[in-house]
Amino acid sequence: MKIAIIGAGVSGLTAAHHLTTRGLEVEVFEKSRGLGGRLATKRLDWAHMDTGAQYFTARDPRFVQQVTSWQEAGVVEPWPFTPYSLSADGALLPSPDQTLRYVGVPGMNNLAHALAKKLTVHRKQCITSLVRKHNRWRLVSDSGDQFTDYDWVIVSAPAEQSRVLLSGHTPIAEHISSELLEPCLALVIATSGHAPEAVQGIFGDGTVGWVSRLSAKPQRAKDAAYDDLWLLHFSSDWSANYDPSAENNIGPIGLEWLQNAIDTLPDQKEKKPLQIVNHCQHYWRFARMAKNSEQPPTLIDKSNHLAAIGDWSYGGRIEGAYLSALHLIHTTF
């Protein structure tokens, strides 16, 4: 049996890995040159930075077992810290919890590279259409390349993109919401100046939803040119009102927000303020699950040999991406 998987995120790579170990012929198609989807680690000459998912958790015993295996292989490590949060009056306060958080080392996308070992992955191939002929599937890319004779096609793209690709081929496309995922603007800033060591993660407000101190994550290298590296994920509402085509520099906005939050901590105003040494930004069109969204897990059309998987079909977390792939494998192949 020959299987095509569209998308090299956690769900697609997990499905490919398990199908390959069962002796099936599997090819993965990824539109970008990197692996991992939102497990993105951007590499620039001044820093390596996680711009997508900042950490993940493990609750299901099957995923806990996988994470343990990754730890033993040196692919992930726990990231122990006490998060902070902004109070209603804008004060930054410790917000202790019992959540065990993990990160890929030395970057989040190392998880994807671990899953992709020994897999056939066609990078920079954006599949735009599917063609069914003689009970076989043909994939067509945006450059006109064609890949033929697949018994099954598994789509592991974001929900909205999966819906478009599958429409007209299978009833399961109609079960995929066209408004399931919301955008997120990510800003990375390298700073000089002082911030308390305890501040490694911040649950924010209606402007910035989350902040990671990237330079505090395990096995992250720092450059002598800056003191810290930060990632700011702007809120869904703020990001939805942002025009990514305008290419506005939001560095000063992010720095002001971060400085204002840190300044509410004791004695911080007496310290050297933060200044931007370098920055970059990335717009995630499909990022967070929309509030109150509902999605049936792992849509499968056994008659047409099509399936749609992804974190969006299992709650929107990295663990959900992994479990959606397992569900497909165990119920279908």
Same domain for 120 and 41, yes or no, is: yes
Same structural domain, 196 and 278 = yes
- Number of folded domains in the chain? 2
- Give the Cα separation of 33 and 294 in Å (integer): 31
pLDDT of residue 296: 66
Residues 89 and 218 in one domain: yes
Query: What pLDDT does residue 297 have?
Result: 67
188 and 168 share one domain: no
58 part of a folded domain: no
Residues 40 and 122 in one domain: yes
Domain-located, residue 15? yes
> What confidence score (pLDDT) does residue 328 get?
96
My answer on whether 281 and 237 are in the same domain is: yes
- Mark whether 8 and 136 lie in a shared domain: yes
Assess if residue 36 is contained within a domain.
yes
Q: Residue 129 maps to which CATH number?
A: 3.50.50.60
Q: What is the dihedral of CA 109, 110, 115, 120, to 10 degrees?
A: 70
Note whether 211 and 317 are same-domain residues: no
255 falls within a domain: yes
- Residue-level pLDDT at 49: 96
Q: What domain range is 121 assigned to?
A: 2-47+109-178+295-332
Tell me, what's the pLDDT at 108? 97
Q: Which residues of the chain have pLDDT under 70?
A: 292-293, 295-297
Same domain? For 89 and 147 the reply is no
Residues 238, 137 share a domain: no
| pLDDT confidence of residue 25 | 98
